[in-house]
Structure 1
């Protein structure tokens, strides 16, 4: 049974996908949230083939399903010895941290977002690649509804372009790469890379897709966050993807991305470094 956390709290266990550099988007969202809340934790790095075993051992079921209906086991997972809780979804981890440690760190992860967030129109001109992680299903509990909607659309927008990043993931072993290849139905790691004209078109598609999101960051001109000087979980959602791009994109493309839309995403990346320590 969950209990109130002690003060000071014991160190929590945070499970991330083993790769160098760390570049998995959803663990990045949770790492940023953990550092935002300034709660003590340590990271355990889990090879891809062992993720299902680790989740089951922690009593955390799969939170998504593959297209064939089978369970999709992925990370992050946060195990909190202070309350006996184990949480296995990045959005749920942020909601858990806010509910359990409301006054810790930099404050509220879920302050009200500007009305412009509700008015954003999202267009997708790219299909999801076959190996892309399944999107988080719509939430049924109503918690932080405007953030859940934002998270869903941001994930859809970036996931359509994850082909730019996948072949550059620094997975820890051939066994981990083979596991991803099996899910993609690909024969070799090179088959995952988007090249040539197709890559140029996908880069341009990503630039266009991020235009509306960039305008949301202009709502408060004091920046660099959506709410001006105050970071929120919405910034961490986008920041998780920006951190993934930093860890995967070739340097020339990375410099291009952070220059788009007046440098919006470069400023966000720089501002989030205060929450980006890998522990």
Structure 2
């Protein structure tokens, strides 16, 4: 374990349209970015187009998949973190000499899941940055079976049952389920943040995953779309507002102290802000502005390196 790394880390994130710093929108990479910035660790970002992610993971980095579709095929996605400062262990993925097209002499470990990335950062750099990513939080989880688990073809984050931070892992799964169930209200507008040079190929990937034939299949009529948006408002009120209001000293779950729980929620809010910015201005005011306040407070951890 170290207080700070001697060599900067590398975060692989999904490419969006320029300027990428103000358009990157994928929630799981945002969880990793918040955690890296919270720990004040030096890192760079490599931007990868969606069609290139399978090649990056399976051929370039040779990183085993961490999530799978219902048919057992790998769900190739980002983020990935490369940490050259750590000696590989049986639980981490070694980086061989051909791992990175920009640097063929890389060594270290690769982590291919946002929750595992946060766990790695806390384990390796416990004294860095702002503090502990996973402090104890009483009653972090919603009551069993109260979160709607979507039938979306996109697999949710796995629960790390053996993790020392299993409560956070379960919360991650619950929050992912809550927001994923409501992604259809903004799915049609996702091309807005995409990189124009690869937008058509990226849309083809999304269509294939969803079993759709045309992007118009994602368009909802206004009544259905508004109902889904209101469903999200109500779900946030049931499952998250009480948690965020428990400590009124600040906008975070623990008041003035940010934790990985805040990053999990904030990452999805960031996706909404970037994908449907006009509607985010309405949504940020829901429930007395509690979610707008949370995302505003997370800006100090939102730098894109």
SS at match of 2:245: coil
CA RMSD of aligned residues (A): 1.8
Whole-angstrom distance in 1 between the partners of 2:294 and 2:150: 27
Q: TM-score, normalised by structure 2?
A: 0.84
**Is structure 2 residue 35 aligned with structure 1 residue 33?**
yes
SS of residue paired to 1:64: coil
- Match of residue 164 from structure 1: 185
Q: Cα offset for 1:249?
A: 1.4
The offset of 1:119, in angstroms, is: 5.4
The 1-side partners of 2:221 and 2:127 are apart by 47
The reply to whether residue 95 of structure 1 matches residue 119 of structure 2 is yes
Shift of 1:247: 0.5
Which residue of structure 2 lines up, in the alignment, with residue 258 of structure 1?
Answer: 284
Q: Does 1:269 align with 2:269?
A: no
Which has the larger displacement, 236-245 or 157-166? 157-166
Given the alignment of the two structures, is residue 112 of structure 1 paired with residue 139 of structure 2, yes or no? no
Aligned twin of 2:164: 143
Gaps of 5+ in 2: 18-22, 87-107
* Contact kept in structure 2, 1:77 and 1:86, CA below 8 Å: yes
CA contact (8 A) 1:171 1:177 kept: no
- Report the equivalent of 1:230: 257
Aligned 1:7-46 pairs, distance under 5 A: 8-20=5-17, 21-46=23-48
Q: How does 1:65-104 map to 2 (within 5 A)?
A: 65-83=68-86, 84-104=108-128
Q: Does 1:63 align with 2:84?
A: no
Counting matched residue pairs gives: 272
- Deviation of 1:149 (Å): 1.2
SS of the residue aligned with 2:10? strand
State the shift of 1:166 in Å: 2.1
- Deviation sequence 1:238-271 (CA, Å, 0-9, x none): 01001011010140x2122111111110000000
Structure 1 distance, partners of 2:178, 2:216, is 24
**SS of corresponding position for 1:65:** coil
Matched, 1:217 2:253: no
Moved over 6 A (4+): none
* Residues 245 and 128 of structure 1: CA distance in aligned 2, closer, same or farther (over 3 Å): farther
